[in-house]
Amino acid sequence: MYNKTIAELAKSLRSGEFSSVELTLAFLDRIKQHGSLNAYVTITEDLALQAAKTADIRLAAGNAELLTGIPIAQKDIFCTEGIKTSCGSRMLDNFIAPYNATVVDKFNSAGAVMLGKLNMDEFAMGSSNETSYYGAVKNPWNINAVPGGSSGGSAAAVAARLAVCATGTDTGGSIRQPAALCGITGLKPTYGRVSRYGMIAYASSLDQGGPMTRSAEDAALMLQTMAGFDDKDSTSVDVSVPDYRAGLNNSLEGLKIGLPKEFFGEGLSSDVAATLEAAINEYRKLGATVTEVSMPSLKLAIPAYYVIAPAECSANLSRFDGVRFGYRCENPVDLTDLYTRSRGEGFGKEVKRRILMGTYALSAGYYDAYYIKAQKVRRLISEDFKRALAEVDVMMGPVTPSTAFGIGEKIDNPIEMYLSDIYTIAINLAGVPAMSVPAGFAKGLPVGLQIIGHYFAEDKLLNIAHQYQQVTDWHTQIPKGFE
Amino acid sequence: MSLTVSEVKDCAHLARLGIEEQDISSYAKDLSGMLDLLTQMNDLDTDGVEPMAHPMDQVQRLRVDVVTEQVDREKFQAIAPQVEAGLYLVPKVIE
């Protein structure tokens, strides 16, 4: 039953093949059985069973929604009332959120069953899940490899069938990169599409929540619940939410695909390039035409990101002061000592690095040279996207330069880790939506194809991914040992 | 471009961020590496370009000035490190 899609499960729950309680118990068993993956920070077993019972009552009464009774899991960045919300940090190891994120509220009212909270890089800062206070998550395809990050727990859990689907957040690739490295489907929506209320902030002008699923159809169903304007998020965009399933079966005849030449140059490993070429050929068979496009400012995406994200992070994380919630050091001698030691002991190394970088970039005398300059570069990058997307319907390219790297391989070299996000970061700067779709394997490890679209064209991306998944079976592959 | 040990200490102070003495030089090295990366931005002419803060250039919304939520002090203080009589406690600041 754990291999079924959301639509299939919804059918089984309605036909009486099994109940939500039975389904939930099966997933809870699997979570415990595969605890060594370290995908979950918290398992909410009692609450899950309670929610499953309520779902079964709704199903019997005939007032269930599509997600009613479906076991899902939340990235531990989303606040869940009465449940520990750690954000992968010692700083919030004792934090029981006093309210729900809007996204959590929406899943709760749809009747979805939350199995628990998923491991992640500390405060979503990392590309390997190794910066988590709770330890690295393992990639189900090779337990010596990273699952990617920061939504590494989400990707590993979905790939290993420890949840039907999961939420993720993406600031510089944190949904798409782990989705690619774990062989699942991940969608970063347009900035402002999904509410950030109750989603612990890292870089507010870039952060965006989205679905992590096995198939595009499941992603459409999840996004349907997540998307929408929220008064409580001042950056939420008031654009109506379409029916994301309505266009899934549209033909791709005549689709214009652009390949940004900067995505296929030096640095892309040859086995990933070959896998993507085969995927793009599938699209040709589906009736698409392929042209080359150019994004001249793309190479400056990493520098611009590593000013803007740390600057916003240094401001956002100033709220963790050891006074009102979260970690407080022992026996502070005075207020400065309380702030300094609580933060010094509560944050890990990567978070400190970014707070220091952001503080430097925003400090007197450097603000214009770094922050304003980066915001100007950001505008030019976003204009590149607008120009390229005016010529084509979508762009396609790699998500990552290579497949999953080994645990411990890059953690001591932060710059090298940053550079591996070259294909995902620019999308966040522009704010456009993008997906990672399983496109094959290279030496036994999954490869993701990135599809980048116009603002608010999530329905188009889902249609394009779904059509590919009708003629390929990469998205249904199960890692060995998790069948 | 490189960041000195004392510049790292200044930033840590501004951020009220405790870092161990023995780690400072490694932060200085990492941050210097990041600064080298950032200087690449100078290759791009951005004269006359408007800085971009929101992808849709949306500005902060205004709303009617009415009470929408009551703060539940007890609930919020239940998760605080130290409270007394409805107040958050910190070490004495005034002798």
Tokens of A38: 């370290």
DSSP-assigned letter for residue A124: G
Distance CA A85, CA A65 (A): 27
Taking CB atoms and an 8 Å limit, are A360 and B81 in contact across chains?
Answer: no
- B61 or A253, which is more confident: A253
pLDDT at residue B95 above 80? no
CA angle A125/A275/A425 to nearest 5° reads: 25
Query: Tokens 């006093």 — which residue?
Result: A98
Give pLDDT tens digits along chain A (483 positions).
999 999 999 999 999 999 999 999 999 999 999 999 999 999 999 999 999 999 999 999 999 999 999 999 999 999 999 999 999 999 999 999 999 999 999 999 999 999 999 999 999 999 999 999 999 999 999 999 999 999 999 999 999 999 999 999 999 999 999 999 999 999 999 999 999 999 999 999 999 999 999 999 999 999 999 999 999 999 999 999 999 999 999 999 999 999 999 999 889 999 999 999 999 999 999 999 999 999 999 999 999 999 999 999 999 999 999 999 999 999 999 999 999 999 999 999 999 999 999 999 999 899 999 999 999 999 999 999 999 999 999 999 999 999 999 999 999 999 989 999 999 999 999 999 999 999 999 999 999 999 999 999 999 999 999 999 999 999 999 999 999
Interface contact flag, B41 A353, Cβ < 8 Å? no
ipTM over 0.90: yes
Q: Are A73 and A154 in contact (CB under 8 A)?
A: yes
* Active site positions of A, annotated: 75, 150, 174
Q: How far is residue A426's CA from residue A200's CA, in Å, rounded to a whole number? A: 22
Identity of the amino acid at A19: S
Distance from CA of A96 to the nearest CA of B (A): 7
* Percent of chain B with pLDDT strictly greater than 90: 77
Which chain B residues touch A304 with a CB distance below 8 Å?
41
Does A336 contact chain B (CB < 8 Å)?
yes
Contact list, B34 vs chain A (CB under 8 Å): 306, 357, 414-415, 418
Q: How far is A173 from chain B (nearest CA, A)?
A: 16
Amino acid at A297: S
Whether residue A297 lies within 8 A of chain B, CB to CB, comes out as yes
- B43 Cα to chain A: minimum distance (Å): 9
* DSSP per residue, B17-34: ----GGGHHHHHHHHHHH
Sign of CA dihedral A157, A203, A104, A70: negative
Does B14 have pLDDT greater than 80?
yes
A 186-225 near B (Cβ less than 8 A):
190-192, 205
pLDDT in the model for residue A275: 98
Give the C-alpha separation, A293 to A264, whole Å.
11
Classify the C-alpha dihedral A8-A12-A14-A20 as positive or negative. negative
Non-local (6+) Cβ contacts of A177 within 8 A are A127, A148, A149, A399, A400, A421, A424, A436, A448
Q: How far apart are CA A319 and CA A106, in angstroms?
A: 26
Query: Which DSSP symbol is given to A370?
Result: I
Answer whether A352 sits within 8 Å of B11, measured CB to CB.
no
Which chain A residue has its CA at the smallest distance from B20's CA? A344
How close, in Å, is residue B32 to chain A by CA atoms?
Answer: 10
Query: A84 - beta bridge partners?
Result: A96
Indicate whether B1 pLDDT > 80: no
pLDDT at A482: 96
**Nearest chain A residue (CA) to B38:** A303
Judged by CB atoms closer than 8 Å, whether chains meet at B17 and A324 is answered as no
Distance CA(A420)–CA(A429), nearest Å, equals: 16
Q: Does B83 score more than 80 pLDDT? A: yes
Reported as a single tens digit per residue, the pLDDT across A412-459 is: 999 989 999 999 999 999 999 999 999 999 999 999 999 999 999 999
Residue B70 scores a pLDDT above 90 = no
- In sequence order, what are the residues at sequence separation of 6 or more whose Cβ sits closer than 8 angstroms to the Cβ of residue A132? A88, A119, A120, A121, A122, A126, A152
Strand A165-170 to A71-75 pairing:
parallel
> What are the extents of the domains in chain B?
5-42
* Confidence category of residue B71, pLDDT binned at 50, 70, 90: confident
Contact A328 B82 (CB under 8 A): yes
The span from the CA of B44 to the CA of A380, in Å, is 9
Helices (H), A34-151: 45-61, 102-110
With residues binned 3-state (H G I as helix, E B as strand, rest as coil), the percentages for chain B, rounded to 5, are 40, 5, 55
Q: Which two tokens stand for residue A3?
A: 């291999």
Two structure tokens written together for B58:
């949306």
pLDDT at site B63 = 86
Q: CB of A339 within 8 A of CB of A317?
A: no
Three-state secondary structure call for residue A272: helix
Q: Does A332 touch chain B (CB under 8 A)?
A: yes
- Domains, chain A, ranges and CATH? 6-255+433-476 (3.90.1300.10)
Average pLDDT score over chain B: 92
Task: Calculate ∠ Cα A401-A404-A406, nearest 5°.
Answer: 120
Confidence (pLDDT) at B26: 95
Distance CA A472, CA A183 (A): 13
Q: Which of B37, B72, B91 faces A338 most closely, judged by CB atoms?
A: B91
Is A363:A289 a contact under the CB 8 Å cutoff? no
Structure confidence at residue B69 (pLDDT): 84
How far from each other are the two terminal CA atoms of chain A, in whole angstroms?
11
